[in-house]
Structures are given as C-alpha cells and as structure tokens.
Amino acid sequence: MGNFKGKLVVKKELTYDVIQFDIEVEPGFQHKSGQFIMVDVLDGKEPKARRAYSITTRGGVDNKFSLIVKILPDGRGSRFLAGLDVGAELSLSGPFGHFVFDENPKKNIVFIATGTGIAPINAMIEENKGGTLFWGLRHAKDIFWAEKYKDLDLKLTLSKPEGDWTGLVGRVTEIVPKTAMDFENIRVYMCGNKSMTDEMKQYLLANGVPPEDIKFEIF
Ligand SMILES: Cc1cc2nc3c(=O)[nH]c(=O)nc-3n(C[C@H](O)[C@H](O)[C@H](O)COP(=O)(O)OP(=O)(O)OC[C@H]3O[C@@H](n4cnc5c(N)ncnc54)[C@H](O)[C@@H]3O)c2cc1C
C-alpha cells in the first residue's frame, strides 16, 4: 500500500509503560498477521526519523488496526506516540515483513514472546485461536492481556517477580527447556530481543526442529 495516513482513534494504557494505539486508515488496507508498519516520527526534529511497529491485530482487509508500544524514557519514536491525542493524524508506510503466520494444521503451534514482542504474536493468536504461548515479562506490573489467552496453553513467566507471585519464575529461555515438547511436530513463532531469539533458535535446532519451522522477529 506504500505511504498512507492514519488517524488515532483510541489510546489506551495497558500498563505503566505500554500503550495501545488503535489507528483508522483508508478502507482497503491489507496486512498479514505478524507484519509491521513504519511510523513517521513527526516531532519536528532533524534528522527525520521513522520507527517500526508490529500490527497486533490479525491480518485481513480492514480499516482499523492496533499497535502496542513500550514507552521508553528517552525514546524518540515511542515518546512521540505517547504524546499524541486521539484524533491525531499519523504518517505511515507498509505493511512490511516476512514474519507472517502461515497456517500448517499438521503441526502444533508454539509462540514465544518477551515484553511487547507479544504484538505480532497476538495477531497470529487471533488468527490461530490455539497453541502454546510462552510469554516472558519482568514484573507483575508488566502483565497485560493475560486473560485474553486463557484458552491457550499459556506459560506466563516473570523474571523479577514480587513476593506474592505464584506463577512461573525465570526467563522464557529457562522455561522452554523445562517444558516437554514434541519437537518433530511443532512450528515455532517467536518475537523479542536478539539474545532471546538466538538462544531459543539454538535450543530448538539442537533438538531437531527443522529451520523452516522456526520463525522469528527481532525488536
Ligand atoms: C520489525 C519491528 C517491529 C517492532 N515492533 C514493535 C512493537 O510492536 N512495539 C514496540 O514497543 N516496539 C517495537 N519495535 C521497536 C521500535 O521500532 C523502536 O525501536 C522502539 O519503540 C524504540 O524506539 P524509540 O524511538 O522510542 O527509542 P530510540 O530513540 O530509538 O531509543 C532507543 C533507546 O536508546 C536510548 N537512547 C537513545 N539515544 C541515545 C543516546 N544518544 N545514547 C544512549 N542511549 C540512547 C533511549 O533511551 C532508548 O532507551 C519494533 C522493531 C522492529 C524492528
């Protein structure tokens, strides 16, 4: 679709540092679950900047989609978005990316995400409506959307839990190897930082998961 305009129609705080932005675009916008768009950072500063954000709503033809963005204290793009009011116009391009959900009903789907790496994974979950989800966050205050995933085999883990947390503890890279899996029969989609995706990829390859069944996006 190239360059296009969007209008911010909903801005919702999901946690203290993650905001959901619902954006309305011209009818005809089409993306695949897992793809991202580029947002022009219209803050008046030079040099001009653009930032990538995964579309967190499932693919298809629609005139509305959502992003979820972690707001960084000195982050130029995320602070620009955080400062927008509902009704603001956005300058966008895309969709881009090869991290897309290709349904293979013969394999069990395993999703692995850390932090806002859940964004493209959520789009895929909306499409697949099943599977195992490993989701790593730091603190209990970082949790959002967990109730959305109650019909999945959700393994939500905190790396720095507070005292009263009774769920899984540790990084996803520690939790995944402790979980029994039928390695020959899974397709893995993961999104997070490079060290997580690298470590998980090595682990999965070492256990015989074919490279074509390991798909990932790095934030
Ligand atoms: C394909 C793709 C999809 C993505 N999807 C998402 C998504 O869905 N949600 C999401 O939240 N993010 C996503 N990202 C990340 C996003 O593109 C941005 O990188 C992120 O929002 C940070 O951008 P920023 O402009 O806010 O921070 P930046 O201005 O780029 O700064 C990044 C960090 O560096 C620090 N920093 C900046 N300048 C300096 C300096 N001079 N010295 C030292 N430190 C400095 C800042 O404090 C900040 O912590 C995605 C990235 C990719 C590649």
In a structure prediction context, what are the per-residue pLDDT tens digits for the chain, which is 219 residues long?
689 999 999 999 999 999 999 999 998 899 999 999 999 999 999 999 999 999 999 998 789 999 999 999 999 999 999 999 999 999 999 999 999 998 766 789 999 999 999 999 999 999 987 899 999 999 999 999 999 999 999 999 999 999 899 999 999 999 999 999 999 999 999 999 999 999 999 999 999 999 999 999 999
Q: Pseudo-torsion of CA 139, 131, 185, 216, nearest 10°?
A: -50
Residue 77 CA to ligand 1 center (angstroms) comes to: 7
| Residue 98 Cβ contacting ligand 1 at under 6 Å | no
Q: Residue 101: inside a domain, yes or no? A: no
Question: Same structural domain for residues 63 and 115?
Answer: no
Domain that holds residue 115: 108-218
Q: Ligand 1 pocket check: which of 17, 71, 78 to mutate, most ligand atoms within 8 Å of Cβ?
A: 78
Note whether 73 and 113 are same-domain residues: no
In total, how many domains does the chain have? Answer: 2
Q: Given 3-state DSSP classes, what are the helix, strand and coil percentages for the chain, each rounded to the nearest 5?
A: 25, 40, 35
Same structural domain, 129 and 35: no
Q: According to the model, what pLDDT value does residue 105 have? A: 64
Q: What's the pTM?
A: 0.96
User: Do 131 and 88 fall into the same domain?
Assistant: no
Task: Examine the domain organization and report whether 79 and 165 are in the same domain.
Answer: no
Ligand 1: which of 74, 144, 196 to mutate, most ligand atoms within 8 Å of CB?
Answer: 74
Residues 86 and 113 in one domain: no
For tokens 């990932």, name the residue.
Answer: 216
126 lies in the same domain as 212: yes
N-to-C CA span, the chain: 23
Same structural domain, 36 and 118:
no
